[in-house]
Amino acid sequence: MSDTLLGVYSRAPLVVDRGEGVWLYDVDGNRWLDCVMGIATDGLGHAHPKLVAALEAQANKLWHVSNIFRIPGQEALAQRLIDSTFADVVFFGNSGSEAIEGALKTARRYHHVNGSPERIDVIGFAGSFHGRTYAAVNASGNASYLDGFGPRLPGYVQLTLDDEAGIAEAIARPTTAAVIVEPVQGEGGARALTGEWLKRVRDLCTQHGVLLIYDEVQSGMGRTGKLFAHQWFEGVEPDIMAIAKALGGGFPIGAFLATKEAAKGMVVGTHGSTFGGNPLAMAVGIAAFDEIAKEETLAHARAVSAELVQQLNALKDIHGDMIVDVRGKGLLIGLKLVPNNREFMALARDHGILVAGGGENCVRLLPSLLLSGAEAAEVVTRLDAAFADARTRLARAA
Ligand SMILES: *Cc1c(COP(=O)(O)O)cnc(C)c1O
Q: For residue 365, what is the domain's CATH number? A: 3.90.1150.10
Task: Let me know whether 140 and 287 are in one domain.
Answer: yes
Residue of 101, 129, 180 with the most ligand 1 atoms within 8 Å of its CB, for mutation: 129
**Among the listed residues 89, 74, 123, the one whose alpha carbon sits nearest the alpha carbon of residue 285:** 74
Predicted local distance difference test score (pLDDT) of residue 393 = 81
| Domain end marker among 292, 316, 343 | 292
Residues annotated as binding site?
129, 132, 215-218, 273-274
On whether both 72 and 161 belong to a single domain, the answer is yes
Is residue 9 in some structural domain?
A: no
Same domain, 269 and 359: no
- What is the whole-number distance in angstroms between the Cα of residue 100 and the centre of ligand 1? 8
Look up residue 221 and give its DSSP letter: T
Predicted confidence at residue 1, as pLDDT, reads: 62
Beta bridge partners of 156: 122
Domain boundary among 292, 317, 337: 292
| Cα of 3 from ligand 1 centre, angstroms | 26
pLDDT of residue 394: 65
Count how many Cα atoms sit within 13 Å of the Cα of residue 55 in the half-sphere of its side chain.
Answer: 13
pLDDT tens-digit series, residues 287-305: 999 999 999 999 999 999 9
CA distance 64 to 71: 10
Which of 137, 158, 140, 139 is closest to 149 using CA atoms? 137
pTM of the predicted structure, to 2 decimals: 0.97
- Choosing from 34, 228, 239, 245, the catalytic residue is 245
Instruction: Give the annotated binding-site residues for N(2)-acetyl-L-ornithine.
Output: 132, 273
Residue type, 68: I
Q: Is residue 45 part of a domain?
A: no
> Do 225 and 314 have their domain in common?
no
CATH number at residue 54: 3.40.640.10
**Ligand 1 closest atom vs CA 254:** 7
2 pLDDT exceeds 90?
A: no
- At 392 the pLDDT is 87
Q: Does residue 122 sit in the same domain as residue 227?
A: yes
Which of 272, 292, 312 corresponds to the end of one domain? 292
Q: How far apart are CA 374 and CA 354, in angstroms?
A: 17
| 205 and 329 in a common domain | no
- The answer, yes or no, to whether residue 70 has pLDDT greater than 80, is yes
Q: Is 292 exposed, middle or buried (0-12, 13-18, 19+ CB in 10 A)?
A: buried
Residues 103 and 247 in one domain: yes
Are residues 317 and 265 both part of a single domain?
Answer: no
Catalytic residue (choose from 34, 215, 329, 344): 215
pLDDT over threshold 70, residue 316? yes
Please determine, for residue 395, whether its predicted confidence score (pLDDT) is greater than 60. Answer: no
Task: Say if residue 179 is exposed, middle or buried (CB neighbours under 10 Å; 0-12, 13-18, 19+).
Answer: buried
Q: What are 10-27's pLDDT values in tens digits? A: 999 999 999 999 999 999
- CA pair distance 18, 46, nearest whole angstrom: 8
Residue in 39, 42, 101, 130 to alter for ligand 1 test, most ligand atoms within 8 A of Cβ: 130
Q: With b meaning 16 or more CB within 10 Å and e meaning fewer, what string describes 217-251? A: bbbbbbbbbbbbbbbbbeebbbbbbbbbbbbbbbb
Domain identity same for 188 and 66:
yes
Q: Tell the residue nearest (CA) to atom 6 of ligand 1.
A: 96
Chain centroid, CA 79 distance in Å: 21
Helix (H) or strand (E) run with residue 349 in it: helix 341-350
| 129 has catalytic annotation | yes
Name all residues whose Cβ lies below 6 A of ligand 1: 95-97, 100, 129-131, 182, 186-187, 215, 217-218, 244-245
Residue 170 is predicted with a pLDDT of 98
* Average pLDDT of every residue of the chain: 97
CA distances, 79 to each of 76, 218, 239, 309, 334 (Å)? 5, 21, 17, 34, 33
Q: Say which of 91, 92, 129, 233 is annotated catalytic.
A: 129
Mention every residue, 6+ apart, whose C-beta is less than 8 A from residue 194: none
- Over residues 117-141, the mean pLDDT reads 97
Coil vs helix vs strand at 353 = strand
Domain assignment present for residue 40? The answer is no
Q: Ligand 1 mean position to 10 CA, how many Å?
A: 18
Boundaries of domain holding 327: 16-34+295-397
As a whole number, mean pLDDT of residues 257-282 equals 98
Please indicate whether residue 336 is annotated as part of the active site.
no
Range list of β-strands (E), 289-359: 323-329, 332-337, 353-354, 356-358
Q: 211-232: per-residue pLDDT in tens?
A: 999 999 999 999 999 999 999 9
Task: Indicate whether 392 belongs to any domain.
Answer: yes
CB atoms within 10 A of CB 362: 25
Is residue 83 part of the annotated active site? The answer reads no
Query: Does the pLDDT of residue 398 top 60, yes or no?
Result: no
| Cα–Cα distance for residue pair 126/162, rounded to 1 Å | 10
User: Can you tell me which atom of ligand 1 is nearest the CA of 185?
Assistant: 13
Question: Does the residue 4 lie in any domain?
Answer: no
Domain tally, the chain: 2
Each residue's pLDDT tens digit, 145-154:
999 999 999 9
Same-domain status, 129 and 264: yes
Substitution candidate for ligand 1 out of 185, 218, 251 with most atoms within 8 A of CB: 218
One domain for residues 124 and 268: yes
Predicted confidence band of residue 397 (pLDDT cuts 50, 70, 90): very low
Same domain, 283 and 207: yes
